[in-house]
């Protein structure tokens, strides 16, 4: 691929990934069979029960500022661009009023002009917090392999077993980000506590 072609393709990916920062875009609408399989154990999202005032609060996922895409450089130039794709979450009631959170992350690696097929690592951080109080911060380097003859490949994983204490179960945030951007908070208005977000 020429440098011009890479630049155009890279710009399109960055624009696409940056769009994840909006709360609506960061949500799974149940239309992705792969993410449904990871989160729910089947290719379709289970039907949702009618609204109930006792439903578990589950805020939308924020993509951290600057954390939607990551360029990896090498001696020959840009080796790859890794970008977040779809993210999703599931919140269930735990004992004593606490909330148990699962977060699904899907992303993609794209070869740059200085890259070659092989194994790449996508550094992803999932944070569940309230303000400056962090209940869980899980960082992992998700492996993604681009096979010979291909220019891209995808990765996906689920972080689970994250517990939000009962005292904050109605007011917490979920953030996902790549690389250094994972440490910068997302910028969006906070929703008032006590309501189930869509």
Q: Which two tokens stand for residue 101?
A: 């959170």
User: Is pLDDT larger for residue 152 or for residue 52?
Assistant: 152
In-domain check, residue 195: no
What pLDDT does 54 receive? Answer: 58
Question: Would you say residue 26 lies in a domain?
Answer: yes
d(Cα 137, Cα 162) in Å, to the nearest integer?
Answer: 9
| Closest residue by Cα to residue 127 from 175, 57, 181 | 175
Helix, strand, coil percentages for the chain (3-state, nearest 5): 20, 45, 40
In sequence order, the 6+-apart residues with CB closer than 8 A to the CB of 41 are none
Q: Tell me the per-residue pLDDT of 9-51, one tens digit each, with 9 for 90 and over.
A: 443 333 333 333 333 334 444 567 766 766 767 766 766 654 4
On whether residue 194 sits in a domain, the answer given is no
Q: Assess if residue 198 is contained within a domain.
A: no
Tokens of 194: 């006590």
Separation of alpha carbons 84 and 186, rounded Å: 15
Q: Which domain holds residue 151?
A: 3-45+56-183
Residue of 195 and 148 predicted with greater confidence: 148
pTM: 0.66
**Whole-angstrom distance, CA of residue 14 vs CA of residue 6:** 12
Asked if pLDDT for residue 123 goes beyond 80, the answer is: yes
> Is residue 191 a part of any domain in this protein?
no
Distances in whole angstroms, Cα of residue 127 to Cα of each of 16, 27, 85, 100: 22, 16, 17, 13
Please report the pLDDT score of residue 172 as a whole number: 97
Residue 189 domain-assigned?
A: no
Q: Between the CA atoms of 25, 173, 70 and 117, what dihedral angle is there, to the nearest 10 degrees?
A: -80
Number of domains in the chain: 1
Closest CA to 163 of 137, 135, 140: 135
Whether residue 30 lies inside any domain: the answer is: yes
Whether 19 maps to a domain, the answer reads yes
Q: 52-103: per-residue pLDDT in tens?
A: 545 899 999 999 999 999 998 888 788 899 999 999 999 999 989 999 999 9
């Amino acid at each position: 691929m020429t440098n011009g072609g890479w630049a155009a393709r890279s710009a399109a990916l960055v624009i696409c990934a940056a769009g994840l920062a909006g709360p609506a875009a960061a949500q799974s609408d149940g239309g992705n069979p792969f993410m449904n399989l990871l989160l729910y154990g089947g290719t379709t999202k289970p039907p949702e029960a009618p609204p109930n005032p006792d439903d578990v609060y589950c805020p939308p996922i924020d993509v951290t500022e600057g954390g939607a895409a990551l360029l990896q450089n090498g001696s020959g130039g840009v080796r790859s661009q890794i970008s977040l794709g779809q993210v999703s979450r599931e919140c269930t009631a735990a004992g004593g009023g606490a909330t148990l959170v699962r977060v699904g992350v899907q992303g993609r690696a794209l070869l740059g002009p200085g890259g070659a097929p092989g194994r790449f690592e996508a550094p992803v951080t999932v944070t569940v917090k309230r303000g400056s109080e962090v209940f869980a911060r899980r960082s992992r380097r998700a492996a993604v392999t681009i096979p010979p003859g291909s220019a891209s490949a995808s990765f996906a994983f689920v972080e689970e077993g994250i517990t939000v204490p009962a005292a904050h179960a109605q007011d917490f945030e979920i953030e996902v980000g790549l690389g250094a951007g994972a440490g910068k908070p997302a910028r969006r208005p906070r929703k008032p506590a006590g309501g189930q977000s869509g």
